[in-house]
Amino acid sequence: MVRYADPGAVEWVESGGGPLIAIPEVVLPFWAGADGDELSSDYDRACEVDGHVGLLPVGDTRALVLGDEPASTAYLPEHGTFVRWCAADSEAALLDRIPQALEAAEWEPEMHWDVPGAVVLFDAAWPGNASERTDHLRVALEPGRYTVRVAYVEPGPEVWVGLVQVRRAGD
């Protein structure tokens, strides 16, 4: 994980250029990443997600793909939101604008994600079993149905942020 400040307010996950993916821990062994002998790898499937987010089958559940661009991403549990760093001079400048960004967000249509428990966010190119050897972040979600919504916001001068909010359905 990357830290942009000392000691760093949050932990950030980066990719080598492709999408990040949040996979339920229970199905990590089923994600092969860019490995495999097939014509289309799991990584290829993740790269085919059209738009900012998408859901892909993995084992008997689905994973959340954070597509569009390989932005550094953190999870802010107090907001139930993955924050994608598009532009800001510093981590502090970006994080200071998150409340304004959430308030100003014009959300894209929601999708539903059934989650069996905690998920791990990492570069989709890595196999699930190797996710601990790269940038990764464990996000403790309770089992259940979640609503996922996305927005890209410019909450201040030279601050652009992607928001992927994950909320319990019915909250």
Amino acid 162: pLDDT: 95
Cα–Cα separations (whole angstroms), residue 7 to 3, 83, 91, 161:
7, 19, 11, 22
Alpha carbon distance 18, 35 (integer Å):
14
Q: What's the burial of 17, exposed, middle or buried (CB within 10 Å: 0-12/13-18/19+)?
A: exposed
Alpha carbon distance 24, 102 (integer Å):
25
The amino acid at residue 109 is: P
**What residues does each domain of the chain span?**
20-168
pTM (2 decimals)?
0.91
Cα–Cα separations (whole angstroms), residue 165 to 70, 111, 115, 162:
17, 11, 14, 10
Q: Count of alpha carbons within 13 Å of 54, Cβ hemisphere only?
A: 15
Instruction: Enumerate residue ranges in the chain where pLDDT < 70.
Output: 1-8, 36-38, 171
Amino acid 38: pLDDT: 66
Amino acid 132: pLDDT: 85
